[in-house]
């Protein structure tokens, strides 16, 4: 049996860390990639030898629908092209769990499939919601996957002031994929993956 975290303490610490990222001044960020609908920025992470990425774009749907598609659950596997499996290992409360998920290979399999075990927490934030997570040092490993590690990451989703039926979605991601991959390959993949995430999410919501 794994030693599970103190959920309340971890949830509070995680939420506070994400709010700190959300309040960083604009000049701390450098644009990594931009499309008509989504902008990706990055800055050196304070957690590991890689980048903290920030993603922002408008999604044509209500906050609750958007977050229901992002947080752990059956919706996520249906549309997220990178995710190949998702299991809830432990439920603390309705908005708090430990999940294990796997991702497909990327960049023509230069980045091989990965496995993550994350603590996930969803909480109200201003007029919207924050869904955030952090990886746990889970001892049970599967040999066919490299175990990656998500440093504090999350998605803020709030209604657009001028159009409350649409949502402003802002994400903060800092993933250590581990294994023998050049960091430059990871950085290239991450910016593109985040752009695709918005496109895939919008398509799934239009079908819902």
Domain assignments of the chain as residue spans, ordered by start: 7-206
Average the pLDDT over 52-78 and give the result.
94
With a cut of 50, say whether residue 1 has pLDDT above it.
no
CATH architecture type of domain 7-206? 2-Layer Sandwich (3.30)
Closest CA to 31 of 54, 59, 58: 54
| Tens digit of each residue's pLDDT (9 = 90 or more) over 16-55 | 999 999 999 999 999 999 999 999 999 999 999 899 999 9
pLDDT at 82: 86
- Kindly give, in sequence order, each residue whose CB lies less than 8 Å from that of residue 24, ignoring residues fewer than 6 positions away: 43
Beta carbons of 59 and 200 less than 8 angstroms apart: no
pLDDT, the chain, mean: 91
| pTM of structure | 0.93
C-alpha angle 72-74-78 in degrees, rounded to nearest 5: 110
pLDDT at 138: 85
Model confidence at 151, pLDDT cuts 50, 70, 90, reads very high
- The H helix count followed by the E strand count for the chain is 4, 12
Cα distances from 16 to residues 133, 145, 168, 174, in angstroms, run 12, 31, 20, 16
């Amino acid at each position: 049996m794994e030693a599970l975290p103190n959920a309340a303490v971890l949830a509070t610490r995680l939420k506070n860390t994400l709010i700190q990222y959300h309040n960083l001044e604009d000049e701390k960020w450098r644009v990594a990639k931009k499309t008509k609908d989504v902008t990706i920025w990055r800055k050196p992470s304070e957690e590991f030898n890689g980048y903290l990425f920030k993603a922002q774009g408008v999604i044509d749907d209500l906050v609750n629908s958007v977050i229901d598609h992002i947080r752990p659950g059956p919706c996520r596997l249906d549309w997220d092209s990178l995710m190949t499996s998702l299991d809830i290992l432990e439920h603390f409360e309705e908005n708090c769990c430990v999940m294990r998920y796997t991702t497909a290979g990327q960049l023509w399999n230069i980045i091989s499939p990965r496995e993550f075990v994350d603590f996930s927490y969803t909480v109200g934030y201003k007029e919207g919601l924050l869904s955030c997570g952090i990886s746990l040092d889970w001892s049970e490993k599967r040999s066919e996957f490299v175990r990656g590690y998500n440093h504090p990451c999350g998605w803020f989703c709030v209604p657009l002031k001028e159009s409350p039926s649409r949502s402003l979605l802002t994400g903060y991601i800092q993933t250590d994929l581990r294994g023998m991959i050049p960091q430059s390959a990871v950085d290239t993949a991450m910016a593109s993956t985040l752009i695709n995430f918005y496109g895939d999410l919008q398509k799934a919501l239009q079908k819902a």
